[in-house]
Structure 1
């Protein structure tokens, strides 16, 4: 009788451990393996839809993304630079893009804990109403701990290593098609200490 109780307890403990490990793995791997990828941008069509499965919903809840339906907003997230390295506060990046075929768009930086970086720069994002365009029709934003001579700037001060950028495209036009050409390009300009 006692042996049976221990067998049941062992089975329960093993089930809980395997279930927790499975959920952890799906959330960690799923974060960077969204359904579609355009350049470095990850995109999940199920975000904000009734088709979102439990793991998609868990990833969205963990990252604090309140996802609207795809008719209202599309969400793209980038975790690495053009060299495939995790984004780091010790680097200076340039984000380059054209106006997106949508009512409005924004790009916001989230620190490694998926919250806004804890600094008092008040420069967590750029958006369609605040960027300045150059003569070639592109806007450029510097992502760095200090603004320097940048016109458009997103502060990465206190974002640490492993931060992300989220592009939100609100009310995209029916013919909007994400692609490497239509989404902004992120380039690493320099890294302190060769990071």
Structure 2
């Protein structure tokens, strides 16, 4: 009798371990299955989709993205510079782009934990209402503003921060590509010669 109880307990523990392990693996590695890349920008085609299954919804919830439908907004995230290096607070970047075929857009800087950066600079996001919808634009991404007219503060963001571009009510002719999305250029990094 004791042998049978121990066998059931062992089987239950193995089942729980396999279930937890498979759920963790799906959440950790499954997001690559619905990510599209446009240059350095990553876009989740499942974000905001009503067809998203339970695993997809769990992945999106884990990342903290409360997404609108694709007709209402498209979300693009940048984690690396043009050389494939993680974005770093010690660097100064220029983010520039053409007009975006949308009703409105914004770019927000998040720390490695996907939270807004905790500093008092009040420069965590930039949007079309400050820059304009119909012209080329440029934003400095750095820990100090300097003489930049438009600035996203990376002070206290550390290493591995990200930039999220939200394109609201994209026009029918909006097509995401490396050419139509903003381009990030590294201007300098502290400690480099």
Q: Residue 193 of structure 1 aligns to a residue in which SS?
A: coil
| Selected match of 1:149 from 128, 147, 156 | 147
Q: Residue 130 of structure 2 aligns to a residue in which SS?
A: coil
Shift in alpha-carbon separation, 1:8–1:86, aligned structure 2, 3 A: farther
Judge conservation of contact 1:95–1:186 (CA < 8 Å) in 2. yes
Shift in alpha-carbon separation, 1:67–1:81, aligned structure 2, 3 A: same
TM-score, normalised by the number of residues in structure 1: 0.89
Q: What is the Cα deviation at residue 90 of structure 1?
A: 1.6
1:54 corresponding residue in structure 2: 54
Judge conservation of contact 1:147–1:153 (CA < 8 Å) in 2. yes
1:80 corresponding residue in structure 2: 80
List per-residue Cα deviations over 1:49-92 (Å, max 9, x = no partner).
11112232223222222100111001111111111111111221
Shift in alpha-carbon separation, 1:93–1:16, aligned structure 2, 3 A: farther
TM-score, normalised by the number of residues in structure 2: 0.89
Aligned-residue Cα RMSD (Å) equals 1.9
2:167 corresponding residue in structure 1: 169
Q: What is the Cα deviation at residue 2 of structure 1?
A: 2.1
Aligned 1:11-160 pairs, distance under 5 A = 11-30=11-30, 34-131=34-131, 137-160=135-158
Cα distance in 2 for residues equivalent to 1:169 and 1:108:
12
Judge conservation of contact 1:132–1:152 (CA < 8 Å) in 2. no
**Runs of 5+ unmatched residues, structure 1:** none
1:178 corresponding residue in structure 2: 176
Cα distance in 2 for residues equivalent to 1:77 and 1:23:
24
Cα distance in 1 for residues equivalent to 2:122 and 2:30:
30
Shift in alpha-carbon separation, 1:61–1:96, aligned structure 2, 3 A: same
1:5 corresponding residue in structure 2: 5
Displaced runs of 4 or more, over 4 A: 30-34
For this pair of structures, how many residues does the alignment match?
191
Shift in alpha-carbon separation, 1:15–1:46, aligned structure 2, 3 A: same
**Runs of 5+ unmatched residues, structure 2:** none
Q: Does 1:188 align with 2:186?
A: yes
Q: Residue 159 of structure 1 aligns to a residue in which SS?
A: coil
Judge conservation of contact 2:103–2:168 (CA < 8 Å) in 1. yes
Shift in alpha-carbon separation, 1:90–1:7, aligned structure 2, 3 A: farther
